[in-house]
Amino acid sequence: MTIRNLGKLKVSALGAGCMSISANYGAPAKMEEGIKTIRKAYESGVTFFDTAEVYGPYTNEKLVGEALQPFRHKVAIATKFGFEIGAPNITLNSRPEHIKKVAEESLKRLRTDHIDLFYQHRVDPDVPVEDVAGAIKDLIQQGKVLHFGLSEASTATIRKAHAVQPVSAIQSEYSFMERSVEKNGVLDLCEELGIGFVPWGPLGMGYLTGKLNSQTPFDSKLDLRSSFERFTPENLAVNMPIVNLLNRYASNKNATASQIALAWLMAKKPFIVSITGTRNIPHLNENLGAYDVHLSNAEFQELEMEFAKLKVCGARMNEMQMAFCQ
């Protein structure tokens, strides 16, 4: 697999999002299955793995640390800080002392002496982002962190942080059906400043796989999507023309809807590195097969024109989740 740059961090053109193995999309997979899947990704050319302390919480970092330990020096691990875990309600905490505490704990769980990419998981309105960037700068000087990232941050926040400590990557939701970062200036700013972009939910949180429909159940206690407007039975049905569009292109290229969606992201910008999430090897193989699907400029433009005729119904997250995006 070819290499792409997230700022100065070099990673495989497709990465692996590890969250869904442990949390948020239903009951966690067995530890041994998660390890097999992550190691299979590495064997298939993936060198970029994404996790966070809040996934589980903690269990996903432990899984990633164990799975990648045999070849730790050959891969890049991204993890995240920014939540007060254990509080009665979900609260943000990006105070510098908390960031440094989280870094030490994450290093232990990941069985490593450095974090390749350390993201602020959500912007904390109570802590100036300049202070956050300063804390990461200290960790970088100590060799405990190599690169700084922000997740779901606005252009203003990115500029302020970048002025203190260069930002290597921005992670926000982005997919063929979710285009917010094209409209709010974030993707353009990444190009301007030489910052990499890492789409989470590159398959529309599973919707673009074509495997969800209006009858798909979502566990209200274990699956975040159960509270997202876009995943109501009504919106799952009304958004189906988007999947149908991908399927039409897939049938012409001996591919799947998922592969077309991921190939579209790779064709969009050379600094985009998607982190596809899966908990099993067959889905992993399908996702990584997107690397061999090439869209011509004409095909890419035609997809764009066809998508422009469609409407995406339903907010991408619930109000509480969206309140953390700034």
What ranges do the domains of the chain cover? 3-206+269-293
The predicted pLDDT at position 307 comes to 98
pLDDT in tens, 287-307: 999 999 999 999 999 999 999
Alpha-carbon distances, residue 175 vs 91, 182, 205, 306 (angstroms): 27, 10, 9, 15
The predicted pLDDT at position 224 comes to 85
Residue with tokens 């640390």: 65
Round to whole Å and give the CA distance between 317 and 64. 26
Q: Write down the CATH superfamily of domain 3-206+269-293.
A: NADP-dependent oxidoreductase domain (3.20.20.100)
From the CB of residue 252, how many other CB atoms can be counted at a distance below 10 Å? 10
Average pLDDT estimate for 120-137: 97
Average pLDDT estimate for 225-247: 94
pLDDT in tens, 155-176: 999 999 999 999 999 999 999 9
Round to whole Å and give the CA distance between 15 and 114. 19
Q: Which residues lie across from 84 on neighbouring strands?
A: 91
Neighbouring residues of 25: CB distance < 8 A, sequence distance ≥ 6: 19, 205, 206, 223, 224, 225, 277
Average pLDDT estimate for 114-142: 98
Is pLDDT of 326 > 80?
no
- The active-site residue out of 25, 42, 55, 207 is 55
Alpha-carbon distances, residue 83 vs 92, 121, 284 (angstroms): 4, 8, 29
pLDDT in tens, 57-107: 999 999 999 999 999 999 999 999 999 998 777 799 999 999 999 999 999
Q: Distance from CA of residue 94 to its chain's centroid?
A: 20
In the structure, what pLDDT confidence band is assigned to residue 316 with cuts at 50, 70 and 90? low
pLDDT in tens, 5-25: 999 999 999 999 999 999 888
Question: Does the CA dihedral 120-125-19-180 come out positive or negative?
Answer: negative
Is pLDDT of 320 > 60?
no
Q: What angle do CA 86, 129, 121 make, to 5 degrees?
A: 40
Stronger pLDDT, 40 or 27, i.e. the higher one: 40
What predicted TM-score, i.e. pTM, was given to this entire model? 0.95
Q: What's 21's DSSP letter?
A: H
User: Would you call 55 a catalytic residue per the annotation?
Assistant: yes
Round to whole Å and give the CA distance between 205 and 114. 29
